[in-house]
């Protein structure tokens, strides 16, 4: 960013007046595009970061669903409980 400002100061006098505004606008757009990912990540962290309720729920869901353990079939538990209570 500092290099861009320095280049603008040095080259500003060399450019025609009609060319300065489009170049300044283009550099401004590039600057905003460079800063946008940082702003988006900051807002996302504030809204759904690990210290928020939504972030905590997402973390717990990922732990429960994606723990790496294969899904187990636990239908046999209901059958055994029915036998215990029926018998």
In whole angstroms, give the CA distance from residue 66 to residue 56. Answer: 15
Instruction: Give the residue, 35 or 20, on which the prediction is more confident.
Output: 35
Q: For residue 78, with 0-12 CB atoms within 10 Å meaning exposed, 13-18 middle and 19 or more buried, which class applies?
A: exposed
Q: Model pTM?
A: 0.47
pLDDT in tens, 27-79: 788 888 889 999 999 988 888 777 777 777 777 777 777 766 555 666 666 67
**CB 12 within 8 Å of CB 20:** yes
pLDDT of residue 68: 61
The mean predicted confidence, pLDDT, of the chain is: 75
So where are the chain's domains? 2-65
Residues 6+ apart with CB under 8 A from 12: 20
**Chain centroid to CA 29:** 21
């Amino acid at each position: 960013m500092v290099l861009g400002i320095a280049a603008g100061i040095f080259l500003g006098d060399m450019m025609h007046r009609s060319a300065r505004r489009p170049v300044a606008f283009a550099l401004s757009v590039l600057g905003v595009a460079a800063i946008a990912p940082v702003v988006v990540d900051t807002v996302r962290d504030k809204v759904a970061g690990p210290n928020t309720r939504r972030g905590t729920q997402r973390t717990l869901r990922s732990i429960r669903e994606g723990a790496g353990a294969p899904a187990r079939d636990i239908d046999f538990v209901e059958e055994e409980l029915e036998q215990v209570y029926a018998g």
